[in-house]
Amino acid sequence: MKDELVRALDACDGSALLSLAEDVHYADLAGFYEDLNDEERDFLLKTIGPELATDVVAELPYPLIEEALNHFKPAQLRVLLGNLSDDDRVDVFQVVSEEAQRRFFALLGPRDKELTKSLLKYDEDTAGGRMTTHCGRITADMTVKQAIAVLRRDKDNAETLSRIFVVDAEGRLVGKVRLRDLAFNTWDTPIRDIMEEALEYVLASEDQEEAARILSRYDLIVLPVVDEFHHLLGVITYDDALEILQEESTEDIEKLAAISGEHSEVSYLNTKVVVHYQRRVTWLVGLAFVSIASGYVMFRFNNLLGRAQLLSLFLPMVVAAGGNSGGQAATMVIRAMALGEIGPGNALKVAWKETRTGFFMGISLAIAIALFIVFILPRFPGSGYDFTRLAISVAVAITIQVLSATVLGAMLPLVARAIKLDPAVVSSPSLASTVDVSGMLIYFTTASAILHL
Amino acid sequence: MKDELVRALDACDGSALLSLAEDVHYADLAGFYEDLNDEERDFLLKTIGPELATDVVAELPYPLIEEALNHFKPAQLRVLLGNLSDDDRVDVFQVVSEEAQRRFFALLGPRDKELTKSLLKYDEDTAGGRMTTHCGRITADMTVKQAIAVLRRDKDNAETLSRIFVVDAEGRLVGKVRLRDLAFNTWDTPIRDIMEEALEYVLASEDQEEAARILSRYDLIVLPVVDEFHHLLGVITYDDALEILQEESTEDIEKLAAISGEHSEVSYLNTKVVVHYQRRVTWLVGLAFVSIASGYVMFRFNNLLGRAQLLSLFLPMVVAAGGNSGGQAATMVIRAMALGEIGPGNALKVAWKETRTGFFMGISLAIAIALFIVFILPRFPGSGYDFTRLAISVAVAITIQVLSATVLGAMLPLVARAIKLDPAVVSSPSLASTVDVSGMLIYFTTASAILHL
């Protein structure tokens, strides 16, 4: 399918391109669009026209939307913007430049203007900013027949009719029915008799991640969004939950690797080198300067390395073991927080669990290394060392280093959350750079004490 | 609600507990169960009985399921196992011990036995292993009225009726209709006239992640699962997609932090210390021994550090910059692969992008460090060094280190995928340990050449 699209595009064969584009799912067409150059994008959009382009534009990564819309003339844009579902339209307004915002807004019809303005009130990351106002909405005093008539009128607008919400005269959420309950009951059944309580809902001001977690926890297809007076404002659907949770995972993964800034939305290959560079260089330079602290400790204790050269053999090990174990602990805690399993309130329990885990890991590592130093190392040619003392010294240092790094790694994300920072700012590299310093200090202090250097 | 449950449980007040449990969502009840001790779990399960416990058991983390089922007598178990939906029942059989598998299987009715056996054929991680056979299923020659009659008969069994699938006389998938199309059309409309092609489907043998990606890409509520002859076997639903993608993200995050083994399913706090220990200690010990290679390079070049002590100041920096930049690149590539954006076929493009990104990052870092060495470092007391030469030496080393680590970090996950390994085995710590060695070598070689040591 993709090859045929490419061929039609290369041949500038508009009618072939149009008929192919009509058969392709808009998600695929959006993916195809992303990989094109400016000229090809222009030809594709002009060929398919504003109606077909509506769904494609709604699927595009945010940074590509404004440019895509600028390919259309005002009259076409008016059609396209009018066709967008209200939540997609708000997304568009949230991601384009202010200049484009004004220009696009002027093209909207009076009802869409009002609706868009009311939705733009909500922050992009809240349930309100993510919801659509299009949902099945009936009242309890209707019969099944009346309800079906109402829903049939709106059916093309409703995001999903899997759940239909029942509101009172003031528009407050009072219950829900399933479409199957309408389809399978006699037409004169009153809605009141078949509706259930709508126990799950979310406030419009709530974080969108909270909405996604509720959808996921209760396996909901549609989650109603209400204001503080319980008025039904709109719904968030299962596909939003998927998107939100995927975005969140991607952000956590990237932050854990010390990649800063928003995930670019554009696919990896379509992200420009300068953007890749920008998202990584800040942390890289920052962490490099933090490493000077480790270097300074090494510099200070350099004479120790001169006096007992074998010490250098285990310095990287002790240092790295801290970064590794701390990173493991931080990752476990950050993910458990993202999955809603723990919060700052569990800090003590987490600390106790990680103290034991860190201790056992440290001891295991210490024993393995000590055995290596006592039994394997003497077989290599070298000066006659006191291998037992060296083993004790390295073992003690590595136990302290792993234990302290594990507890620190587990606690820092909880502290970050407690002071309202994103837990994932505690990236593995920043943690590693920190415990590098402590690792050097622990190693040299232990060595000079035990080896009498 | 939770407090009330705790109070009823503490007071051993069965009737209060039962009425509370009936009001709570089963997902919440499962979460509550997880936090109880053995005695409390027994009391809770016996109080709520097998009917209510069915949904709770299906929601439990896998490792808790067998123990939960063992609280019931055979007659109760027969009810509970019979009540489970077929995909949940297969999950149960896949996670319990062989002994329990035999014992539970004997309790099933003849139809459930056959169904379970046929579903157990499919690997746990495939679309077939994840699907439910309960789905709306009609034929094209029915009228809307006949279809509604068929669906009404099965309505309690069907996982979701949002999409109803149309099969031919041999049970091959030929199309789909939406429940709303049935509800909003006249009763004598033939299904043939309102059905659409079912373009999206997945083979039962396909990986479950592929099914999740299709559901997510096309915003589907239900995805049909077919065999190689296009027979409709069952469906996978949106909530499976959510679960699969969340599991996958968690696994990737954990692997990236060198945490091995399956994600435990049990929440962080309910995971025993010994499990936490087991999942982390292997990599920790393995990586520690890899670090001896770095230590050996340091040991070999120790005399260099003795001759130019200031070199130690920048050694940790050069080494860490490799681990950090390599980890960033590996993370970007692994995530892009997980999101289906790139594969081994894009290796050249990725290499070129990362070469440029790595080069610019290396140069930026080099300039920052060189400026620091030339302008800031001389202000501190110390012997008269040739700071310009030192700056050049460190700058050259860090550029090479960042560039090579970035390209290596980006390539290794692609290589892993190409040889059918999980890309996320290339964890940040294992990458860091590898480029630590090259970093040491690069640093000392550059220094001895440029500083004539």
- Considering CB atoms only, which of B152, B218, B313 is closest to A295? B313
What is the rounded CA–CA span in Å between residue A94 and residue B53?
A: 46
What average pLDDT does the segment A286-314 reach? 89
Tell me what pLDDT residue B316 has.
94
Phi, psi of A92 (to 5 degrees): -55, -50
Q: Which residues of chain B make contact with A314, given a CB cutoff of 8 A?
A: 292, 295
CB atoms within 10 A of CB B382: 12
Q: What's the CA gap between B289 and A313, in Å, rounded?
A: 11
The rounded distance, in Å, linking the Cα atoms of B390 and B393 is: 5
Closest residue of A to B259, CA-based?
A328
| A183/B276 CB distance under 8 A | no
- B132 bridge partner residues: B235
Range name among A166-170, A301-305, B409-413, B445-449 with the lowest pLDDT average: A301-305
Q: Let me know: does A130 contact A87? Beta carbons within 8 Å.
A: yes
Q: Which two tokens stand for residue B423?
A: 């890309």
Is A218 near chain B, with CB under 8 Å?
Answer: yes
Fold annotation for B273-450:
Tetracycline Repressor; domain 2 (1.10.357)
Element (H, E) at B45: helix B38-59
CA–CA dist B290, B305 (Å, integer): 22
Structure tokens that stand for A323 in this block: 């970064």
Average of per-residue pLDDT across A196-207: 93
- pLDDT of A383 > 70? The answer is no
**Residue B324 at interface with chain A, using a CB cutoff of 8 Å:** yes
Which of A239, A314, A367, A398 is most worth mutating to test chain B (most B CB atoms within 10 A of its CB)? A239
Using alpha carbons, select from A127, A422, A30 the residue that is nearest to residue A262: A422
Listed residue (B194, B136, B193) closest to B165, CA to CA = B136
Query: DSSP letter at B374?
Result: I
Q: What are phi and psi of A53, to 5 degrees?
A: -70, -20
A217, two tokens: 């926890």
pLDDT of residue A264: 67
Contact between B273 and A315 using a beta-carbon 8 Å cutoff: no
Please state, in angstroms and rounded to a whole number, the distance separating the CA atoms of residues A443 and A405: 14
- pLDDT at residue A382 is higher than 70: no
DSSP H or E segment with residue B139: strand B137-139
Chain B nearest CA to A102, separation (Å): 31
| Rounded Cα distance, B43 and B409, in Å | 53
* Cβ–Cβ below 8 Å for B277 and A361: yes
pLDDT tops 90 at residue A203 = yes
Enter the tokens of residue A385.
Answer: 């060392």
β A173-178/A163-167 pair status: antiparallel
B23 touches chain A (CB under 8 A): no
What per-residue confidence (pLDDT) applies to A271? 87
Report the amino acid identity of residue A274. V
* Cα A96 to Cα A30, A69, A101, B21, distances in angstroms: 18, 10, 6, 49
Contact criterion met (CB < 8 Å) for A277 and B361: yes
Residue A380 contacts B where some CB pair is shorter than 8 Å: no
Between strands B222-226 and B232-237, the pairing is antiparallel
Q: Which residues of A touch B59 (CB under 8 A)?
A: none
pLDDT at A330 over 80: yes
Judge: B280–A310 Cβ closer than 8 Å, yes or no: no
Cβ–Cβ contact B351 with A under 8 A: no
Tell me the ipTM for this assembly. Answer: 0.83
Distance of CA B313 to the CA centre of its chain: 41
Q: Could you give the CA distance from residue B196 to residue B153 in angstroms, rounded to a whole number?
A: 23
pLDDT at residue B382, rounded to an integer: 64
- The per-residue pLDDT for range A210-252, each reduced to its tens digit, is 999 999 889 898 999 999 999 999 999 998 998 898 888 888 8
In a 3-state reduction of DSSP, which class is residue A205?
A: coil
Res B349 pLDDT > 80: yes
Average pLDDT over residues A169-191: 90
The DSSP bridge partners found for residue B232 are B226
Residue A424 has pLDDT above 90, yes or no: no
Dihedral sign of CA atoms A146, A152, A157, A162 in order: positive
Termini Cα distance of chain A: 73
Q: Is A400 part of the contact surface with chain B (CB cutoff 8 Å)?
A: no
For residue B333, list chain A residues with Cβ-Cβ distance below 8 A.
268
When scoring A132, A135, A153, A162 by the number of chain B Cβ atoms within 10 A, the one with the most, hence best to mutate, is A162
Tens of pLDDT, residue by residue over B145-204, are 999 888 888 776 666 777 899 999 999 999 999 888 888 888 899 999 999 999 999 999
Q: Is B133 on the interface with A (CB under 8 A)?
A: no
The stretch B65-93 carries a mean pLDDT of 91
In A, residues 226-245, which contact B (CB 8 Å cutoff)? Answer: 238-239, 241-243, 245
pLDDT value at B420 more than 70? yes
Of A242, A283, A328, the CB nearest to B258: A328
* pLDDT classification of B259: cutoffs 50, 70, 90: confident
CATH 1.20.58.1610 applies to domain B137-244 = no
The verdict on a CB contact (< 8 Å) between A283 and B256 is no
First vs last C-alpha separation in chain B: 73
pLDDT in tens, A70-118: 999 999 999 999 999 888 899 899 888 889 999 999 999 999 999 899 8
Q: Does B129 touch chain A (CB under 8 A)?
A: no
The three-class DSSP label of residue A251 is: helix
Which of A245, A267, A350 minimises the CB distance to B242?
A: A245
Q: Closest to A361 (Cβ–Cβ): which among B280, B331, B350?
A: B280
Residue contact A436–B259, C-beta within 8 A: no
Residue of B nearest to A336 (CA): B268
Helix (H) or strand (E) holding B236: strand B232-237
Q: Residues of A with CB below 8 A from B348's CB?
A: none
DSSP B144-198: HHHHHHHHHHHTTT-S--SEEEEE-TT-BEEEEEEHHHHHTS-TT-BHHHH-B--
Nearest CA in chain A to B309: A299
Label the pairing between strands A163-167 and A137-139: parallel
Q: Hey, which bits of B272-430 come out as E strands?
A: none
Contact assignment for B242 to A238 by CB distance below 8 Å: yes
pLDDT at B292: 92
For A426, the token pair is 């505690």
Which residues in chain B have Cβ-Cβ distances shorter than 8 Å to A152? 184
Name the residue in chain A with its Cα closest to that of B346.
A269
For residue B62, the distance in angstroms to the closest alpha carbon of chain A comes to: 16
Judged by a CB distance cut-off of 8 A, whether residue B116 touches chain A is: no
Pick from A179, A250, A356: CB nearest B179 = A179
User: Cα separation of B103 and B80, whole Å?
Assistant: 14
**Cα B273 to chain centroid, rounded:** 22
Q: A311 CA to chain B: closest CA distance, Å? A: 8
Mean pLDDT of B33-42: 89
Distance CA(B110)–CA(B107), nearest Å, equals 9
- Tell me the Ramachandran region of residue A452: left when phi exceeds 0, alpha when psi lies from -120 to 50, beta otherwise: left
Q: Print burial letters for B4-38: b (CB count within 10 Å at least 16), e (below 16).
A: ebeebbeeeeeebbeebbeebbbbbbbbbbbebee
Give the pairing of strands B163-167 and B173-178. antiparallel
For β-strands B173-178 and B232-237, DSSP reports them as unpaired
Q: Cβ separation of A429 and B179 shorter than 8 Å?
A: no
Residue B43's CB is within 10 A of a number of other CB atoms, namely: 17
Mean pLDDT of chain A: 90
3-class secondary-structure state, position B422? coil
Rounded Cα gap, residues B172 and B166, in angstroms: 8
User: H-helix or E-strand containing A94?
Assistant: helix A86-95
Q: Mean pLDDT in chain B?
A: 90
Confidence of residue B384 (pLDDT cuts 50, 70, 90): low
List the domain boundaries for chain A: 2-121, 137-244, 273-450
Contact A242 B242 (CB under 8 A): yes
What is the least distance, in Å, from the CA of B284 to any CA of chain A? 7
Q: Which of residues 418-447 of B touch A (CB under 8 A)?
A: 428-429, 432-433, 436, 440
Packing angle, helices A387-418 and A428-450, rounded to 10: 150
What angle do helix axes A311-338 and A238-256 make, rounded to 10 degrees? 160
User: Which class does domain A2-121 fall in?
Assistant: mainly alpha
Q: Is the CB of residue B398 less than 8 Å away from at least one CB of chain A?
A: yes
Q: What is the pLDDT of residue A310?
A: 87
pLDDT of residue A102: 92
Read off the pLDDT of residues A153-175 as tens digits, 9 standing for 90 and up.
Answer: 877 666 677 789 999 999 999 99
